[in-house]
Structure 1
Amino acid sequence: MRSNSHAIDRMSKTTLVVLAAGMGSRYGGLKQIDPIGPNGEIILELSVYDAIQAGFDRVVFIIKKEIEADFKEAIGNKLAAHVEVEYVFQDLHHLPKDYEVPAGRVKPWGTAHALWCCKEVLDGPFAVINADDYYGQSCFKDLYAFLNNEAKSHHYGMVGYLLRNTITENGSVARGQCVVKDGKLVNVVERTRIEKRNDKIEYYLDDEWHTLPEDTLVSMNMWAFTPDIIEEIEHRFDAFMADAVPANPLKSEMYIPNVVGELLREEAADVVMMSSRDKWYGVTYQEDKEGVKAGIRSLIDQGRYPQPLWK
């Protein structure tokens, strides 16, 4: 299910796919379009601006159909004047086969399913980011270079962040701990509860707290893929619907790192690990908002972004 802003020649485009269908349950609202910058800028605007500066010339937004009008009014129509924009709708009933959706299910099927929904609009290498994370500028240059010079079938890339640059002071976060060997990603271990405790960063597992080094590389869902990843997602959907969904019919989700992890264990793909030293900003909780505003204001004051952002 998709909506074209206008006809496009995809073969000549470097595409950024933006995961924007989540509603931000912990945050308590549609944080993807919540103004953060001093002139009402949205975090996503900064990411798209950085991507354009790096060379990206097409953006695919994955959203829910229900938020289309609000999303376009807040950001989509504005960006369409600067980059080619296309929309894909993540729909609970849009699945690889005629599966039965569990009664009472309203939650989307996860980031891997969101990416699968793009199967009709992606026929070349592309990058993937979250809508509500500020990634910094250097990573988009790295992604663009990888996509245009190195990406090929089952040869992917990922940008990892230093754990200390991705932590909130206002509660726990979930992060994918990256296991790296010889510059390649070996595995992503999901840590669902990471917090700052007693001047350390720790994660909770098996009723105990464990320390994580501050310079641990973690995944912030920033990937470089070729379209075959979508085929791999589809191939794994039967197992997901047969195993995960019956165990948790209302909330089970299929995540991109899970699919990549399976491919790595099967030695069916490899992932080049890129790293960013930039500070990550994100609004996980309402209490994070003022700190993020201050951080973005500082970047603008340093001249990293023009005012107004779009001219």
Structure 2
Amino acid sequence: MTKPTLVILAAGMASRYGSLKQIESFGPSGETIIEYSLYDAIRAGFKKVVFIIREEFVQDFKEIFESKLEGKLEVEYVFQTLDAFTENFSIPSNRTKPFGTAQAILCCKGKVDGPFAVINADDFYGAEAFEKAYTFLDTKVADNVYASIAYKLKNTLSDNGSVSRGQIFTNANGEMTGIEERLKIYKQDDKIVYEDGSNLVELAPDAKVSMNFFCFAPSFIDLCEREFQPFLEKNIEDIKSEFLMPKVADTFIKANNGVIDVISTDAKWFGVTYKEDAPIVKGEIDKLVAQKAYPENLWA
């Protein structure tokens, strides 16, 4: 069987950072968050990475990553464009951004032909998550069996504002029965709440949430292709509409009788949702380095 590939969603990085040259350093030797994911993936056993990026930044990616990954990971690039797989549709002239994470996965058609994990480029997931993902992809994944790495909600919050998370629901076998997007989640006193219209709804601190870390067979790419056309038929005029991975995963369960194992991790997620999060993330990584979880220089 083809060995697992790591697919990294990075097409939106430039819009958040302005330029890839300005990606913030968090490690003691200038490492970015994405480099910690790559390091953890290599330790877990991954041998290939596919970056989904905007084509104009391919040279930047090559300069930033290829010398560090040489001999460690095979590197390929996939370009997500606004018009990818939209041949039968007229895209509104005022739409500027591509159609979201599931369209990004669809852009991997022909490039990824074996089991693969998907992560966000700018999230810190922790070594355990990659180890569990690789084991699943190497031993269990199938056309009708995928997985989601699930985090405890309390380990994914920002102290500097609200976040959005996909709340995962499971059955007695630990399989996903659904995933619901919760917007504007934040701490209020000793509780965690989200805004549902004008109401505040409390969430359990240990509620399972998705951080876009999924494990798929290549059949998921085919499913994205099938689902993209009806999505466009319904949403093409909505310039803010997004064709998202969790939504297709939900369809896989409910309409295709698929199984998504929910693999829990106690790892703490780090990310820079707000600029004020940056020093907190740097401090957490410094702690991990001090604990010898990572070397002071990842690539030395």
TM-score w.r.t. the length of structure 2 is 0.95
Q: Distance in 2 between matches of 1:197 and 1:98?
A: 47
Q: Would you say 1:222 and 2:222 are equivalent positions?
A: no
Q: Is 1:79 matched with 2:74?
A: no
Runs of at least 4 residues off by over 6 Å = none
Q: Secondary structure at the match of 1:236?
A: helix
Query: How far did residue 69 of structure 1 move?
Result: 2.3
Is residue 33–residue 75 contact of structure 1 (8 Å, CA) maintained in 2? no
The residue correspondences of 1:245-264 to structure 2 (distance < 5 A) are 245-246=236-237, 248=238, 250-264=239-253
Q: Counterparts of 1:137 and 1:287 in 2: how far apart (Å)?
A: 25
Quote the Cα distance in structure 2 between the aligned partners of 1:96 and 1:127: 25
The gaps in structure 2 that reach 5 residues or longer are none
* Superposition CA RMSD, Å: 1.7
For each residue in 1:66-117, what CA deviation from the matched residue of structure 2 results, as whole angstroms up to 9, or x when unmatched? 2222232223442234211101010112215342221121112100000000
Equivalent position amino acid for 1:94 in 2: A
Tell me, in whole angstroms, the C-alpha distance in 2 between the residues paired with 1:38 and 1:117.
35
2:280 paired with 1:296: no
Counterpart in 1 of 2:138?
148
Letter in 1 for 2:8: V
Give the % identical residues. Answer: 44
Residues 1:299 and 1:172: Cα distance change in structure 2 (over 3 Å): same
The equivalences for 1:180-259 within 5 A come to 180-181=170-171, 182-246=173-237, 248=238, 250-259=239-248
Amino acid at match of 1:41: E
The correspondence of residues 1-311 of structure 1 with structure 2, limited to 5 A, is 12-23=2-13, 29=18, 33-95=23-85, 97-181=87-171, 182-246=173-237, 248=238, 250-311=239-300
- Tell me how far apart the structure 2 counterparts of residues 24 and 189 of structure 1 sit (CA, whole Å): 28
TM-score, reference length from structure 1: 0.91
The residue type paired with residue 276 of structure 1 is: T
Q: Which amino acid aligns with 1:233?
A: C
- Contact 1:28 1:286 (8 Å CA) reproduced: no
Distance 1:136 1:253 in 2: 27
CA distance in 1, matches of 2:246, 2:183: 13
- Between 1:93-102 and 1:194-203, the stretch displaced more is 93-102
Q: 1:30: Cα distance to partner?
A: 5.3
Q: Is the 8 A contact 1:62 1:88 kept in 2?
A: yes
Distance in 2 (alpha carbons) for counterparts of 1:23 and 1:308 = 23
Contact 2:2 2:115 in 1 (8 A): no
**Cα offset, 1:308, TM superposition:** 1.5
What is the alpha-carbon distance in structure 1 between the residues aligned to residue 165 and residue 60 of structure 2?
Answer: 29
Give unpaired runs (5+ residues) of structure 1: 1-10
- Residue 38 of structure 1 aligns to a residue whose secondary structure is coil
Cα separation, 2, equivalents of 1:76 and 1:177: 36
- Quote the Cα distance in structure 1 between the aligned partners of 2:78 and 2:28: 30
- Report the number of matched residues: 298
1:236 counterpart letter in structure 2: E
CA distance in structure 2 between the aligned counterparts of 1:74 and 1:293, rounded to whole angstroms: 20
Residues 7 and 50, structure 2, Cα contact 8 Å, conserved in 1: yes
Counterpart CA distance in 2 for 1:268 and 1:122 is 23
Structure 2: how far apart are the matches of 1:69 and 1:298?
Answer: 33
